[in-house]
Amino acid sequence: MFELPMLTTAIRLLLSPGRVAREYVLGRRSANMHPLKLLVALVAVLVVMLAANQYFASYGFKGRDAVLDRMAARVMLYANWSFSLGIFAIFLGSWIALRRRLAYNVVEHGTLAIYCQSVTLGVVIVNLLPTLIWHGPEFIMWHKSASQYYMPAIKLLIVAVGYKQFFLLDLKRDWPRWTGALAVYGFSSLLLLRLYAAAILWLVTR
């Protein structure tokens, strides 16, 4: 009973993250898995995958300096949880730029953010599948380098579709608010990631 709602919700979310979130906040909850349950399930899958392929254990200077190796290992341990930052960035984009649209409350904006982030995690999981087969350090490093070129665009597309569907936006009329929300999301993502990285570095150097 747990797997079937998760599967059906995940399939619908791929193309309609905003529509699923809108249905959920409007009361159609039996047809969709609870957003937090879905998020926790996907996080669990992602953590298992990252442990299996040692994705965060591969870095460019490994083996060159023992001190740097120890610091990098601690950084990567904390970095496993950086995927949660997307929820806050998506929320900020919708709340700052679109909160007057359709009078959604804070929890409902949060529901959209969690569903959109769940889609992102699903895409990240699919993107990591090749590393379960080829998990040598050289391939992992290449995969990291290649992913940075297309994954940000995919994440932005997921959020863009989510905003449009959830807020029933007409892009001919509402494009300024839509692009404004995406700009807030993009800026927030970068800022939160930088703050997160700075916090981790502060922790590992104490």
Residue 46 is assigned to a structural domain of this protein? yes
Q: In the prediction, which pLDDT does 106 show? A: 95
Residue 124 or 196, more confident:
124
Residue 129 is assigned to a structural domain of this protein? yes
Residue 98 binned pLDDT confidence (cut-offs 50, 70, 90): very high
Our CA angle for 39, 44, 48, nearest 5°, is 150
Number of domains in the chain: 1
pTM across the whole model? 0.84
* Sign of the four-CA dihedral 36, 91, 192, 148: positive
pLDDT in tens, 66-76: 555 555 555 55
Q: DSSP string covering 108-121, please?
A: HHHHHHHHHHHHHH
Residue 66 is assigned to a structural domain of this protein? no
Cα 133 to chain centroid, rounded:
23
Our CA angle for 183, 189, 195, nearest 5°, is 135
Domain limits for position 177: 3-54+77-204
User: Does the structure show a pLDDT above 90 at 52?
Assistant: no
- List Cα–Cα distances, 81 to 14, 58, 103, 127, 128, in angstroms: 23, 17, 32, 17, 16
Our CA angle for 26, 27, 30, nearest 5°, is 135
Percent pLDDT > 70 in the chain is 80
Task: Round the average pLDDT of the chain to a whole number and report it.
Answer: 83
